[in-house]
Amino acid sequence: MTATTPDTGLRARLRRLAVSVIAAAGVAVLAAPGVATAADQAPADDERRVELHVSAGLRGTVAPGTSSSAIVTIDNGTASELTAGQVEIELGSTPLADAEAVSAWLDEGETTGSLVPVGDDATKPAEAGGSTTTTVFLPQETIAALTPGVYPLQASLTGARTGDSGGERAASWDTTATSVLVVAPSSASPVGVLVPITATPANGALLSADELSALTAPEGALTAQLDGVSGTAAVLAVDPAILASVRALGTTAPESAREWLTRLDELPNARFALQFGDADATVQAQAGLPQLLAPLPFAGLLNPAAFPQQQVTATPGPGSDATPGPSPTTTTAPAIPDDEELTAVEGALPRILWPEDDLTQTDVTAFAGYLGQGTTTVVSSDTAGVRAAHATAGGQDLLVTDAATSAALSDAAAAVDAAERQRLLAEAAAHLFLAQSATAGAPLLIGLERDETRTADALRDAISAVDSVGFELSAVRATPAVAATLPETVAASRAADLANLLADEQALTAFSSILSDPSVLLSPERMRIMRTIAVGSSASVFADKVETHRIQTTATLGSVSIPPSSTIQLLTANADLPIAVRNDLPWPVTVQLYASPSDPRLEVTPMIETVVQANSSTRVKVPVSARVGSGELDLRLSLSSPTGVPIQSAQSVRVAVRAEWETIGLIVFGGLAVVLIALGVVRTVRRKRREAVEEQAVEAAVEELIEEKEAAARASTEHPDPPATKGPRE
């Protein structure tokens, strides 16, 4: 797929970078016997460091008056073994009052109260590139003195060293790690987690069979999302484009994808459908669209052979009283699903939108115009100004997610490292405690960020850390709504980009008239636009996606053209000029080639229609007739669709007319013919003469022979021979 995915995990990465900086700053310089002082400094390479992680209780939470334990994990990222050291746990006695105090402690190690040591233990050595874990017991009396609240927790490592290895100098690692311990009350308000189920194809349209095979494999990303929510009360926000991708393949869909779809339908979790491709409704409202974007018909993307045959009965019109009508006929046809069937999310709650948070009261009112009265919009507490899960603003229904808890829990769900995840879960528990304290028992919602790379374990840990057993979204929507106030204005910076994308789509719509079925181009294009404006992209990522899409559109509009040509030599007064037409699209196109000369002394057939096959070039023969013997002129060429839509603007090709060369050629060939004929006549005469001489010689020889024979005969008659005398008888 260059297919793009939502911009996720940024907060977690920045937090890990901050922890790394703090850890590096906390490295103490110690002198050891026989080692120079400079040799005790920790390596400067960020990839070769020792990191400390600490968490306490169950995902950072303990019940009042109970004992617990702190888990300290040491990651040795250096190239040599880390020796044993000593770890000490300290706990603050003054609770952190709000989200700002929690962030100040976790990010910068700043707190108003003092820290008290509550336990320590020796650590084990950690091999190069490995890790080690130490458990420090926290006695009951330590926690019994704490009232419900969020308390700063810190672990300190001392005495651990890495030796000289691979040319690196020995270093001492004295560092700290911060976390929180939440002492939770015995009862708390119900909490639900909204989990988006999304997947982005490489081509921006529908997921291919190969992509679905990979995503729904045992280790695939879509499988991980279902594994993570299974057994929880999470509310699923499903992108219908995933379901349409599977169903559009019919019987050719991978078996694993069909099983995944069945498994999704069988999950008991409440769910609602995101807009197709997870498109953002906020930018559509701010762009002034009269209705939400929707995918164009899928028919051109479906292969009828991939769907089973079904019997179709055709009932003809009724006959008259005197003549009964023909009987119904039964035929077979592919059972092709319609667009609604392809995108349906079984059991989905209707009219719920989860857009970007940069919305206004006007936008939410527009949503009701899109989907009808009773539309519910999911917004964050930062936008709504309240933290209770159910709210109303300007008469419009809202579901509110707690912003701080959602951000921390999203980071935890994205964390691959288990130790890092526990620290983030403790942070999420702290923000959740503060939110519950502020809402006085009202239900709370947490919305995970869009993220298509979460592991099943991380997602399950994150949901299980906060959601309430038996949580029901319908019950939340039935609770009294608190009053919220949405912003009146925001900087609608993305609306202009959407307007440009839709203008490009109009250009492609006109361009698609060269295709026998324009939907093969336009339907994927609409899907790509909707994915370009998908929820979850930062401003920079969104700008990059828009630019990439517009570059692709420009390339598509230029995919059918007349390549540049060198000067064409016209050596005769009447000829067919070969003009190349290139088609880089994966479908055949029908175009009309228009030609007009810059000089009336050249007559040209003005229009020729031709079909150019997919991913190929063809030469169109343009008949021309020259009225001038010699000269150069320009031939203007352009392409249009059969409906007259310009496909390529006019361009010129130089034509060098050398029509007199035809006369010269005729004279030359005529002269050659005369010479050849003359040579033939001469040869014939000479041959005839030679044959006549030979015949005369033969006749003279014959006559001479005859005369000799006649003379011999006369001589014989005139002088006869005497009679022969007989000899003596023996």
pLDDT digits (tens, 9 = 90+) for 481-517: 999 999 998 887 899 999 999 999 999 999 999 999 9
pLDDT tens for 693-729 read: 888 888 788 888 887 787 887 777 766 655 555 554 4
SS3 of residue 97 by DSSP: coil
Q: What is the pLDDT of residue 560?
A: 96
Confidence band for 45, pLDDT divided at 50, 70 and 90: very low
pTM above 0.85, yes or no: no
Q: Is the pLDDT of residue 16 over 70?
A: no
CA–CA separation, 333 and 340 (whole Å): 19
Mean residue pLDDT across the chain = 86
Exposed/middle/buried for 151, CB within 10 Å: 0-12, 13-18, 19+? buried
Exposed/middle/buried for 249, CB within 10 Å: 0-12, 13-18, 19+? buried
Q: Is the pLDDT of residue 332 over 90?
A: no
Run of H or E including 290 = none
Q: Count of residues for the chain?
A: 730
The rounded percent of the chain whose pLDDT value lies above 90 is 61
Q: What is the pLDDT of residue 223?
A: 98
Confidence band for 149, pLDDT divided at 50, 70 and 90: very high
Q: What is the pLDDT of residue 214?
A: 97
Q: Using an 8 Å Cβ cutoff, are 84 and 160 in contact?
A: yes
pLDDT tens for 83-133 read: 999 999 999 989 999 999 999 999 999 988 889 999 999 999 999 989 999
DSSP characters over 144-167? HTPPSEEEEEEEEEEEEEE--BTT
Confidence band for 52, pLDDT divided at 50, 70 and 90: very high
Confidence band for 168, pLDDT divided at 50, 70 and 90: low
Overall average pLDDT of the 521-537 stretch: 96
Instruction: Compute and round to an integer the Cα radius of gyration of the chain.
Output: 46
pLDDT tens for 342-351 read: 999 999 999 9
The DSSP code for 430 is: H
SS3 of residue 7 by DSSP: coil
Distances (CA, A) of 594 to 568, 620, 621, 651, 670: 17, 11, 12, 11, 38
pLDDT tens for 344-384 read: 999 999 999 999 999 999 999 999 999 998 999 999 999 99
Overall average pLDDT of the 68-86 stretch: 91
Q: What is the pLDDT of residue 721?
A: 57
Confidence band for 43, pLDDT divided at 50, 70 and 90: very low
CA–CA separation, 455 and 160 (whole Å): 33
Copy the structure tokens of residue 203: 């081509």
Q: What is the pLDDT of residue 22?
A: 34
Copy the structure tokens of residue 452: 């298509």
Burial 68-98 (b: 16+ CB within 10 A, else e): bbbbbbbbbbbbbbbbebebbbbbbeebbee
Q: Is the pLDDT of residue 8 over 70?
A: no
Contacts of 540 (CB under 8 A, 6+ apart): none
The rounded percent of the chain whose pLDDT value lies above 70 is 86
Exposed/middle/buried for 704, CB within 10 Å: 0-12, 13-18, 19+? exposed
